[in-house]
Every structure is written in structure tokens, then in C-alpha cells.
A and B are shown apart, each in its own frame.
Chain A
Amino acid sequence: MREVRFEDLVGKVVRNPHGRAIGCIEELRIEPDGEDYVVTEYLIGGLEWLPRLWGFLGQLPTFRALGVGQGPRIRPVPWHWIDLSDPARPVLTEITGSGGR
């Protein structure tokens, strides 16, 4: 049984199979599955710091009204698209089944 810490996953850069950085893990969505809760989606955010800063400031309605805060898009990615064979280096693949080996 392999375990990984959620707080270690957050902020990790997700790359595609060719090694190109795509985004970083911001959040995990979980849903009940019988007795357990399982991860259904990874929320992947942008890499640039400036859009992230605007996104942060955009949490304030005052700044939003001033036009700031069109933050980076956060994209939900189904769980089976992320390969966590190496939890320090998540890989975005679209091959089903690689939840970790």
C-alpha cells in the first residue's frame, strides 16, 4: 500500500509525458464511494506568479470591481488522467488506469 501526503501534492508541478510543465496541483476534489472518500478530480492551476497574484487579490470584491482578478483558470482534471507513480513528479496522461503502481 502506497501513501502520499495531500499537502505534499499541493503545489507540485504537473507535466505532460514529454516533460513540459502544464500547471500545478491546487486542490483535490473528493466524493464518497461506499464507506470511503475517494479523489475524483485534481484542480490544476496556472504557473505564472503574476496571474496568481491577481487571482489572490481578486478575492476582494473591491479589486474585482476595479477590474483586477481575472485570475488563472483552474481546470478540473479527472483522477485517472494523473499518474502518481512518482508522487513528486505528477504526469498528466490521458491513459486510464494509472492511479499509481
Chain B
Amino acid sequence: MELGRHILDQQVIDHQGEQMGKVDGVTLELRPGKPPRVSHLVIGGGTAARRISPGFARWLLRWRRRWGPKTDEPLLVPWSKVLKIGVDVKVDLEAERTSALAWEHWVRAHIIGRIPGA
């Protein structure tokens, strides 16, 4: 398997099939004398913006601080939680309980939810 081709930028779904976002980053643990180990998938928190350009990410961060949820940290999914890698990456988590949907909830509460009929 290749990290870039098969894992990075793939859709992440939770154990019930709910969309959680994309794999925006992958962390590797460097170990002396042993090969690096895939430790976490990273979702959200400005990780994708940083890949586009660090300058853009900094600019975006200013807006993320003014608006949006208080907890805006990237979600780190331990590799052990990965259930299946196929069309999507399925993880053993419940989307609603993680920070992956923090922005979704914020937009729902502050904007969409305030419009009648939502």
C-alpha cells in the first residue's frame, strides 16, 4: 500500500458510515533502529490548508479564530482505530462524538439552524 495513493486525501467514514472528512494528514512515528510506524490519521484543523501553503494556513487561522467552534484542533485518529481501507477509510469512532464535525455543528447552530425550515 502507498500512503499518498491509498490513504492521504481519502474520504473517512465512521463505523456507521457517516462522513467525517478527508484524511488531511498522516503522522509517522520515528523509531531508532526500526522502520517508521504509521501512528495517526489527521483530519481537519487547518491541516489541508497547511499543505496548500503555510502562508494561506496562517491567514485562514485568523478567520478560524474569529469565527467557528472553540475547539478547532485537528482530529488525530490512532491507526489502531482504522477498520477498513477501500472506497473510503472506515474508522472505529462515532463521528458526532469527535471534533471532526465541530465546524458542521457550528454552522448548523449559528447559521443554518437559524433559518426557518432547516
On A, residues with C-beta under 8 Å from B are 1-7, 9-10, 26-31, 33, 35-40, 43, 79-80, 84, 87, 97, 99-101
Does any Cβ of A come within 8 Å of B80's Cβ? yes
Whether the pair A3, B3 counts as a contact (CB closer than 8 A) is no
- How far apart are the CA atoms of A6 and B79 in the complex, in Å? 14
Choose among B1, B5, B42 the residue with the greatest number of A CB atoms under 10 Å from its CB: B1
Whether the pair A100, B36 counts as a contact (CB closer than 8 A) is yes
Nearest chain B CB to A26's CB is how many angstroms away? 8
* B window 8-29: CB within 8 A of A: 8, 25-29
B29 / chain A contacts, CB cutoff of 8 Å: 1-3
B86 / chain A contacts, CB cutoff of 8 Å: none
Nearest chain B CB to A10's CB is how many angstroms away? 6
Whether the pair A99, B79 counts as a contact (CB closer than 8 A) is no
Using C-beta atoms within 8 Å of the partner chain, give the interface range for chain B.
20 to 34
Whether the pair B38, A4 counts as a contact (CB closer than 8 A) is no
Whether the pair B25, A6 counts as a contact (CB closer than 8 A) is yes
Give the secondary structure class of B's interface.
Answer: strand
- How far apart are the CA atoms of A53 and B79 in the complex, in Å? 34
B66 / chain A contacts, CB cutoff of 8 Å: none
Contacting residue for B27 out of A6, A27, A36, CB 8 A: A6
Choose among A5, A26, A35, A40 the residue with the greatest number of B CB atoms under 10 Å from its CB: A5
Contacting residue for B79 out of A9, A37, A43, CB 8 A: A37
Per-residue contact bits, chain B 32-63, to A (CB 8 Å; 1 contact, 0 not) = 11111111001000010001000000000000
Does any Cβ of A come within 8 Å of B30's Cβ? yes
- A36-B38, A39-B36 known; A3-B5 Cβ under 8 A: no
Contacting residue for A36 out of B4, B30, B42, B79, CB 8 A: B79
A29 / chain B contacts, CB cutoff of 8 Å: 1-3
